[in-house]
Homo-oligomer: A and B are copies of this chain.
Amino acid sequence: MKATMKDVAKLAGVGVGSVSRVINNVPVKESTASKVKAAIKELNYEPDIYARGLKTNKTQTVALILPTVWHPFFSEFAYYVEEALEEKNYKMYLCNSDGKSAKEYEYIQMVKQNKVDGIIGITYSDIDQYISTTLPFVSIDRYFTEDVIYVTADNIAGGKIAANELKKRGAKNVAFIGGHQEIPNETKNRRKHFQLEAERLGLNCAVLDLNEPISDLISEVEKFLIAHPEIDGIFTITDLAAVDVIKAIKKLEKRVPEDIQVIGFDGLKMTLATEYLVSTIVQPVEEMAKTAVALLLDVIQGKGTPSRTVLPVFFAEGNTTKNVIL
């Protein structure tokens, strides 16, 4: 049977109040403290989180909502969020929403049920109506109409950097390839500012921006590349898109990076120990996770926080761009 506080008190020959004080590090006389501790150990006692929560209304628990953890970007993010949370003695629920707002809503309800203290969400569905400023919520990569806190990588700079790196490596006719959704989110800036910067640099810039979900990116890209045989540098909206683009390029019997250079976005690695998939604009995932956690915990504790955090990205050379001697 599970030991309760009363059992501990009885065994230690003290009142339950003292036991509670010991557990919560409230000063007690040394002699009673040691008696209580001995009793706790003997009974192998653990405080019941529910009874405690009923009084304190705190859970030390946060939910992370993302489309699917089965994706290197999200799993890396989840990894670092959990790590940051652990450091603050919080636990993390993981929710794979698959983009379904019903499931996202279910988790949002959990803060009202006292099951979690707050939420970090990478959500691309339409849950604006449920997100209020009173809800401890930190959004990643997506801004809401209301002033919901969010953190994002610097997608604007990312687009610019990609254009510059391509030019630096001798590309003359570049292209952006990607997809987009209805929901406004930060990733759209990747395309916009790549285009702007390419023009500014005097590069020709073609665009293939499909509507998501995309059924067959590879063959779309093939058609696009046949229509634009001059292209020698491509920036894709994500690293995974880059992988598909590369397949399309190889189908057309062109080489990467000799004929066409490719830069992706995300900085995907399959695991901590592996290399970047492609040359890429790296999002500072660990820092994004840490920042999101810090902001959320601030909100939970009622501290005011800035509502917008943009973290810097950087270019990482993979084997899909030419080496450049500086």
Contact = CB atoms under 8 A, between A and B. Distances in A.
Interface in A122-138: none
A68 B86 CA distance: 14
A86 B72 contact: no
Contacts of A69: 69, 75, 78-79, 82, 94
B271 A71 contact: yes
Contacts of A31: none
Interface stretch (A9-17, A44-52, A139-147): A44-52
A272 to B, nearest CB: 6
A309 to B, nearest CB: 22
Interface residues of A, number: 47
Given A78-B94, A113-B48, A114-B48, A86 B70 contact: no
B70 A76 contact: yes
Given A2-B112, A109-B46, A79 B86 contact: no
Interface string A49-62: 11101100101010
Main secondary structure of the interface of A (DSSP, over half): mixed
A22 interface: no
Contacts of A74: 75
A165 to B, nearest CB: 24
A94 B85 CA distance: 11
A70 B272 CA distance: 7
B240 A112 contact: no
A93 interface: yes
Nearest to A213: B273
A115 interface: yes
A55 to B, nearest CB: 9
A21 interface: no
B91 A92 contact: no
A274 interface: yes
A68 B272 contact: yes
A96 interface: yes
Contacts of A2: 112
A201 interface: no
A272 B240 CA distance: 12
A154 to B, nearest CB: 23
A251 B51 CA distance: 61
Given A72-B75, A78-B94, 4 more contacts: A50-B51, A70-B79, A86-B103, A91-B93
Task: Identify the 7 closest CB pairs spanning chains A and B, nearest first.
Answer: A50-B53, A75-B75, A70-B79, A94-B94, A46-B112, A50-B54, A71-B271
Interface of A: 2, 44, 46-51, 53-54, 57, 59, 61, 64, 68-72, 74-76, 78-79, 82-83, 86, 91-96, 103, 109-110, 112-115, 240, 243, 268, 270-272, 274
23 contacts: A2-B112, A46-B112, A49-B113, A49-B115, A50-B57, A68-B79, A68-B272, A69-B69, A69-B82, A70-B78, A70-B79, A71-B270, A71-B271, A72-B75, A78-B94, A82-B95, A86-B103, A91-B115, A92-B94, A93-B93, A93-B94, A240-B270, A240-B271
